[in-house]
Amino acid sequence: MNKLYIEGSKKLQGTVVISGSKNAALPILFMTILIPETIKISNIPELTDVSIAIKLLKHLGAKIIQKKKTLWINTKSINIFCPPYYLMKKIRASIWILAPLLVRFRKAKIFFPGGCKIGSRPINLHLKNLSKLGVKIILRNNCIMASVDNFLKGTSIFMEKVSVGATITMISAAVLAKGLTIIENAAQEPEIVDLSEFLNKLGANIKGAGSNKIFIIGVSRLFGGSHKIIPDRIETGTFLIAAAISQGYILCKKTEPKHLKKVLTKLIQSGAQIKTGKNWIQLDMRNKIPKSVNISTSPYPGFPTDMQPQFTLLNSIAQGKSTIQENIFENRFLYVDQLIKMGAKIKIKKKSIICTGVRKLYSNNISSSDLRGSATLVLAGCIAIGKTELSNVYHLNRGYESFSRKLNKLGANIQNT
């Protein structure tokens, strides 16, 4: 199933239950390598990226039992420190195997990670900052050979660029290192807060996660325990956009409104009525054409780059002109030419795009290229006139649990045959 057939002119409305966060679950899964005891993790999303992470851990020797959205993981029997190329290459998150293997075995040999082609996706910040903790690194034929003589030693680190991935790598290297590690200019995403809460529950000593300065005092060992993954803020934002672009309304349940402040502000600016509660968000855009909104992506708590494509679609059918600036990734407009094929009026100017809203989009045979772009093109098909054929949809299942099923329950008609 690599194609979807999407009927257009739909109003998307109703209730959707949000799944666990892909970008919180992935680092937490790999951190279990640090703990040689059983850990129970619930609210795990059923995604291909997660199943690849589980395959990687099993390949290393971890014992994993999965019952629906709950996993019991014991990595005590891990005895391999060189995971296979074909799995490492599939996901960006596989880079987070490196530091825990180093902490556990004092050595690791891993291939470069994969990930959406939204930029070059370098890992220089991961490697450069690991070496400050005493890690020796040799790069040879697409392989990273890393080792540490005795133990990792805490130190002060200033991240020259805000990086979610590199911040996570440094947290995982420092929790069992000797002494204090300070990470300045750290990423502040909710997924980093969830990771540090998980590790602190198991005996770590991390303070300041969620701010740009994180303090980690190394401890001698971590213990078993349990954790529930936070809701997926990007899945939530994607469904809010689904209702907003189709003049519908939606109730997103089991989510966390405080993780979406900037997104909700922009939706209100576009004319949506938003109500929020402890774990729900309601959006009403019935009988309203959205107003266009200018977007400029930045690290959390700024506007999330993972919501950039979805807001380009909103602006494509909104009233007026708008500018969308992508400041995180250098190649995150791959979906734009497909929207133009559907009648959108968009001009790309280096790091930004200029959108002029049109009344209608029209179905076409289009193709996806990355995860968030794919979700955006599915939503475009739902509101376009006619039936859209979308190919290369394998990206979707990497990051959205039952996306078509959830949309069909909201009134879409998406089939894979």
Q: Residue 326, interface with ligand EPZ (CB under 6 A)?
A: no
86 Cβ contact partners less than 8 Å away, ≥ 6 residues apart: none
Q: How far is the CB of 91 from ligand EPZ (least distance, A)?
A: 7
Q: Which stretch binds ligand EPZ (CB under 6 A): 122-130, 150-158, 170-178, 288-296?
A: 122-130
Q: How far is the CB of 41 from ligand EPZ (least distance, A)?
A: 16
Q: Residue 116, interface with ligand EPZ (CB under 6 A)?
A: yes
Q: How far is the CB of 329 from ligand EPZ (least distance, A)?
A: 5
116 is catalytic: yes
Report how far residue 75's alpha carbon sits from residue 103's, in angstroms, rounded to the nearest whole number: 13
Alpha-carbon distance values, 92 to 111, 145, 189, 240, 267 (Å): 11, 18, 17, 26, 30
Going by C-alpha positions, the residue among 242, 236, 235 that lies closest to residue 382 is 242
Q: Residue 158, interface with ligand EPZ (CB under 6 A)?
A: no
Q: How far is the CB of 261 from ligand EPZ (least distance, A)?
A: 16
Q: Residue 124, interface with ligand EPZ (CB under 6 A)?
A: yes
Which of residues 285 and 396 has its CB atom nearest to ligand EPZ in the complex?
Answer: 396
Q: Which stretch binds ligand EPZ (CB under 6 A): 18-26, 131-139, 248-256, 406-414?
A: 18-26
CB-CB contact of 305 with 328 (8 Å): yes
Work out which of 194, 306, 326, 401 binds ligand EPZ, going by CB under 6 A.
306
Q: Residue 21, interface with ligand EPZ (CB under 6 A)?
A: no
Which of residues 163 and 292 has its CB atom nearest to ligand EPZ in the complex?
Answer: 163
Both structure tokens of 163 = 């990086």
Both structure tokens of 92 = 């960006």
Report how far residue 210's alpha carbon sits from residue 305's, in angstroms, rounded to the nearest whole number: 18
Q: Residue 114, interface with ligand EPZ (CB under 6 A)?
A: no
Residue 148 assigned to a binding site: no
Both structure tokens of 159 = 């991240």
Q: Residue 165, interface with ligand EPZ (CB under 6 A)?
A: yes
Going by C-alpha positions, the residue among 279, 282, 283 that lies closest to residue 271 is 283
Report how far residue 247's alpha carbon sits from residue 133's, in angstroms, rounded to the nearest whole number: 53
Q: How far is the CB of 305 from ligand EPZ (least distance, A)?
A: 5
Sign of CA dihedral 288, 413, 295, 158: positive
Q: Which stretch binds ligand EPZ (CB under 6 A): 117-125, 150-158, 217-225, 274-282?
A: 117-125
Q: Residue 28, interface with ligand EPZ (CB under 6 A)?
A: no
User: What DSSP assignment string belongs to 27-96?
Assistant: HHHHHGGG--SEEEEES----HHHHHHHHHHHHHT-EEEEETTEEEEE-TT-------HHHHTT-GGGGG
Both structure tokens of 289 = 């054409």
Q: Residue 47, interface with ligand EPZ (CB under 6 A)?
A: no
Which of residues 95 and 384 has its CB atom nearest to ligand EPZ in the complex?
Answer: 95
CB-CB contact of 13 with 411 (8 Å): yes
- The secondary structure of residue 61, as a DSSP letter, is T
Residue 164 assigned to a binding site: yes
Q: Residue 23, interface with ligand EPZ (CB under 6 A)?
A: yes
Q: Residue 329, interface with ligand EPZ (CB under 6 A)?
A: yes
Which of residues 26 and 283 has its CB atom nearest to ligand EPZ in the complex?
Answer: 26
Q: Quote the strand ranges of 249-303, DSSP E.
A: 249-253, 273-276, 280-284, 295-296
Q: Residue 345, interface with ligand EPZ (CB under 6 A)?
A: no
Exactly one of 82, 116, 355, 382 is catalytic; name it.
116
Environment class of 40 (CB within 10 Å of its CB; exposed 0-12, middle 13-18, buried 19+) = middle
Work out which of 76, 136, 161, 321 binds ligand EPZ, going by CB under 6 A.
161
Instruction: Count the neighbouring beta carbons within 10 Å of the beta carbon of residue 220.
Output: 7
- Active-site amino acid positions: 116
Which residues are annotated as part of the binding site for phosphoenolpyruvate?
A: 22-23
Binding site for ligand EPZ (CB under 6 A): 22-23, 26, 92-93, 116, 119, 121-126, 161, 163-166, 187, 305-306, 328-329, 371-372, 399
